[in-house]
Amino acid sequence: MEKVRLSLEEVNALSMRVLTSNGMAEDHARAIARVITAGQRDECHSHGIYRLLVCVRSLREGKLVGDARPQVSELSPAIVRVDAGFGYSQLAFELGSKVLVEKARHVGIAALSINNCFHFSALWPEVEAIASEGLAAVAMTPSHSWVAPAGGTKPVFGTNPIAFAWPRPGRFPFVFDFATSAIARGDIELHRRTGKEIPLGWAVDEAGQPTTDPTAAMRGAMLTFGGHKGSALSAMVELLAGPLLGDLTSLESQKFDEGVGATPCHGELVLAFNPDIFAAGKRAQGDQYAEAMFDAIAGQGARLPSQRRFEARVRSEANGVEVSAQLYADVKALIRN
Task: Please give the positions annotated as active site.
Answer: 46-47, 187
The one-letter amino acid code at 92 reads A
Asked if 159 touches ligand PYC (CB under 6 A), the answer is yes
Given the rule CB under 6 A, which of 28-36, 184-192, 296-304, 308-316 is the region that contacts ligand PYC?
184-192
Give the sign of the dihedral formed by CA 101, CA 106, CA 109, CA 113.
Answer: negative
Q: Per CB under 6 A, does 256 bind ligand NDP?
A: no
The binding track of 298-337 with respect to ligand NDP, each residue x by CB under 6 A or -, is: -----x-xxxxx----------------------------
**90 interacts with ligand PYC by CB under 6 A:** no
Helix, strand, coil shares, percent, the chain, to 5: 45, 20, 35
- Identify which of 276, 35, 291, 290 has the alpha carbon closest to the alpha carbon of residue 134: 276
Choose from ligand NDP, ligand PYC, none: what does 305 bind? Cβ within 5-8 Å by kind. Answer: ligand NDP
Task: Report CA 61 to chain centroid distance, whole Å.
Answer: 22
Q: At 164, is the secondary structure helix, strand, or coil?
A: strand
CB atoms within 10 A of CB 55: 25
CB atoms closer than 10 angstroms to residue 277: 14
Mark residues 104-143: x for contact with ligand PYC by CB under 6 A, - for none. Answer: ----------------x----------------------x
Taking CB under 6 A as the rule, does residue 113 contact ligand NDP?
no
What does the alpha-carbon distance between residue 183 and residue 61 come to, in Å, rounded to a whole number?
A: 27
Q: With binding defined as CB under 6 A, does residue 202 bind ligand NDP?
A: no
Site for ligand NDP in 36-95 (CB under 6 A): 44, 46-47
- Integer Rg of the chain from CA: 20
For 292, residues 6+ apart whose C-beta sits below 8 A from its C-beta are none
The Cβ of residue 2 has, within 10 Å, a number of other Cβ atoms equal to 8
**171 to 190: interface string for ligand NDP, x by CB under 6 A:** -----xxxx---xx--x---
Interface residue with ligand PYC, options 96, 149, 155, 264 (CB under 6 A): 264
Residue ranges in contact with ligand NDP by CB under 6 A: 44, 46-47, 119-124, 141, 143, 159, 161, 163, 176-179, 183-184, 187, 303, 305-309
Can you give the binding site for ligand PYC, defined by CB under 6 A? 46, 120, 143, 159, 179, 184-186, 264
